[in-house]
Structure 1
Amino acid sequence: MTPSARLQAAIELLDEIIVAARDNGASADNIAKKFFKARRYAGSKDRRAVREYAYAAIRRYGERPDNGRAAMAGLAAEQPELQALFDGSAYGPLVLNDEEARASGGAIPAWLQDRFAALVDDNEQAALFDRAPLDIR
């Protein structure tokens, strides 16, 4: 898969995750497993990159975005390397336009912002956007 095709796959995965979250459906992990089972052509590096894009968007937005494209467009506004992948190539996402919806907000839902601000400083809040250094199962 090309880098822009990976981004398009992440948008499609996020669309499925958002629908499941809206309907109290399966978890993001289970949706990702089904997503990649249906796309056997994706190699391990492709699957990893798609998951990283999708989970970066999930970590970034506390409120559920409208769709996967809006979530990735919001991330692309902050990360120029993602902006370049919206190139309209054969398997990649269409080019972003200025009027297009972009997800906004932070890692903390709006209803929790005031309480959370008293407990966590800006550096700690920024760390919430990164991948966790430890995963305990």
Structure 2
Amino acid sequence: MTPAARLAAAIDLLIAVESTPRRPADATANDFFRTRRYIGGGDRRAIAELAWSVVRQRIRLDWWLHRVKCNVTARMLVAAELLLGKGLDVAAVLASFPGGQYAADPLDPIEERLLRQLDGTRYGPGLIHPAMPEAVKLDLPDWVLEGFRGRFGDRLAEEAAAMEGRRRSTCAPTCCGRRGRAPRRRSPPRASRPGRPHSPPGGCGCPPAGR
């Protein structure tokens, strides 16, 4: 698959995950890849890596898109992740949406304008901005912040960074060729937890291959 085709597949995977909010994301991804057996192992890993990088950074990406009054869509989440998370410039992000067979349609004029606004409001490399609320900076949902603060106290930022690091460095076995089960993120206090998990199971949330 070409890089553009991988990106288009990652967008399709994100749409599939968003359309089944009460289903574990890795189960949705399992079905996604099982019905697309033409996708080889290397392509599957690249698609999963991009899709789960969006899922892992969803709280921050949502904040950025809301900042420029952009509707949150899978296309714009991927574009924002390429720009802010991966460090591509605007021209490279636009080139990642070339259109044509198997590729994502080009960003339309409104999407391109919003992308340029994102680029113009960057504070520096990466997704962190000083105007972010504390929960967003720490990559934590609002509903777990106080529970985590009560548990970790002054170590909250350190523990949140450690959890984020574990999500980045671990991977589910069947998608990335590792054996054994990856560590799971510790569950937050159960009070008021919504039905949708904060991130896919299995550390980084990479989907298992189709069986």
| CA distance 1:108–1:128, change in 2 (3 Å) | farther
CA contact (8 A) 1:14 1:67 kept: no
In the alignment, what sits opposite 1:11? 11
In the alignment, what sits opposite 2:157? 120
User: Structure 2: which 5+ runs fail to align?
Assistant: 63-71, 119-131, 172-180, 184-201, 203-211
Q: Tell me the matched-pair count.
A: 133
Once residues 76 and 166 of structure 2 are traced to their aligned partners in structure 1, the CA distance between those partners, rounded to angstroms, is: 20
Q: Residue 46 of structure 1: CA displacement?
A: 1.1
Once residues 128 and 108 of structure 1 are traced to their aligned partners in structure 2, the CA distance between those partners, rounded to angstroms, is: 14
Q: Name which of 78, 86, 98 aligns with 1:87.
A: 98
In the alignment, what sits opposite 1:135? 182
Structure (1 or 2) with the larger CA radius of gyration: 2
| CA distance 1:4–1:131, change in 2 (3 Å) | farther
CA contact (8 A) 1:10 1:54 kept: yes
Q: Give TM-score, length-normalised by structure 2.
A: 0.50
Q: Give TM-score, length-normalised by structure 1.
A: 0.73
Once residues 97 and 165 of structure 2 are traced to their aligned partners in structure 1, the CA distance between those partners, rounded to angstroms, is: 26
Q: Name which of 102, 109, 130 aligns with 2:141.
A: 109
| CA distance 1:27–1:95, change in 2 (3 Å) | same
| CA distance 1:62–1:69, change in 2 (3 Å) | same
Once residues 128 and 62 of structure 1 are traced to their aligned partners in structure 2, the CA distance between those partners, rounded to angstroms, is: 17
> How high is the sequence identity, in percent, across the aligned residues?
28
Once residues 114 and 61 of structure 2 are traced to their aligned partners in structure 1, the CA distance between those partners, rounded to angstroms, is: 20
Once residues 113 and 169 of structure 2 are traced to their aligned partners in structure 1, the CA distance between those partners, rounded to angstroms, is: 29
In the alignment, what sits opposite 1:70? 76
CA contact (8 A) 2:61 2:81 kept: no
Q: Residue 15 of structure 1: CA displacement?
A: 0.6
